[in-house]
Structure 1
Amino acid sequence: MSSNNPKRVTGIGGFFFKSKNPEETRNWYNKHLGLNTDNYGASFWWKDNEGKDCMTQWSPFQEDTKYFQPSEKEFMQNFRVENLEWLLDELKKEGVTIVGNMETYDYGKFAWILDPEGNKIELWEPIDEPLK
């Protein structure tokens, strides 16, 4: 990878996992660990090396969610990336399995890949401002 290329992963964007009762799980983490939870889980705000506000999301999903497919695992990682379109092109060249198509929202671009063990990984080129 040339030093002129964007960084691939810049941080953890989120950790998502299956739960029998996401509401009860969110409430437990709120009560016992102090996570400031809402209907989506908990958002952790931090600053990157340039002092920019960044967010990492923690979210329990319903145990029958299809969102993690084709992975059969109970969790999915989300990584923050610098330039998703460039990274997807590089990953395709490297033979990485891409799942579905890139999606764009007010808070960033998303795409999904599989690691060698079939774990689905969400890649997020974030726009953190709309999430505040």
Structure 2
Amino acid sequence: MQTGAFRTPKSGIVSRFEPRSPAAPDIAYMDWAGHHRDRVGLGIGGFFFRAKEPDALARWYADHLGVALPPESYDQRSWEQQQGATVFAPFAADSDYFGRADQPWMINFRVRDLQAMVAQLTAAGIAVEVDTEHYPNGWFARLADPEGNPIQLWQAEGADRD
């Protein structure tokens, strides 16, 4: 059974996570006070945001990034992604990492082949900025959707490689 502990960067609180059983290692942990807690270890079930033209923007994501359109009924299955690393990281309110000061979020998509994805997007006339630095966790590129929302593409390496 995998167990561990970590110190949160800002609070300094030490949190222990201890799965309840090897059969369900990612659904529960033990908090700093020794209480069992459930967690959202199954993954992100949706990403919802406001758009000026939601139908057109959903079509752009489907056409250029392969993100399936939302189901039209409850009988249709939602878009599925390959299981893999996900970073969930709040940033300081004054961070310029997302671009515009009024931009509260940025989405990061994992890609299998960053060069191929960049070529596909640029061939479609979409501006993509490739980060030339190779990080221990992989390669990155940035673009924006038609409404100016920042998108980061990530070809994972190291511990996060699929």
Q: Equivalent pairs: percent with the same residue?
A: 31
Secondary structure of the residue aligned to 2:106 is strand
Secondary structure of the residue aligned to 1:54 is coil
Answer yes or no: is 1:103 the counterpart of 2:126. no
Question: Which segment drifts farther, 64-73 or 78-87?
Answer: 64-73
Residue number among 148, 152, 155 corresponding to 1:118 in the alignment: 148
- Cα distance in 1 for partners of 2:134, 2:101 equals 22
Q: Which has the higher contact order (CA 8 A, sep 6+)?
A: 1
User: Which has the larger Rg?
Assistant: 2
Moved over 2 A (4+): 99-103
For 1:90, the aligned partner's letter is: Q
- Cα distance in 2 for partners of 1:117, 1:71 equals 15
> TM-score, normalising length from structure 2?
0.46
Residue number among 53, 64, 87 corresponding to 2:117 in the alignment: 87
- Cα distance in 2 for partners of 1:115, 1:126 equals 22
What runs of 5+ residues in structure 1 fail to find an aligned partner? 1-21, 28-33, 37-43
More strand by share: 1
Residue number among 69, 81, 87 corresponding to 2:99 in the alignment: 69
| Cα root mean square deviation, aligned | 3.4
Distance 1:118 1:87, change over 3 A: same
What runs of 5+ residues in structure 2 fail to find an aligned partner? 1-8, 14-27, 31-40, 44-80
Map Cα deviations across residues 34-63 of structure 1 (whole Å, 9 max, x no partner): 899xxxxxxx698x86xxx73101010001
- Cα distance in 1 for partners of 2:133, 2:86 equals 19
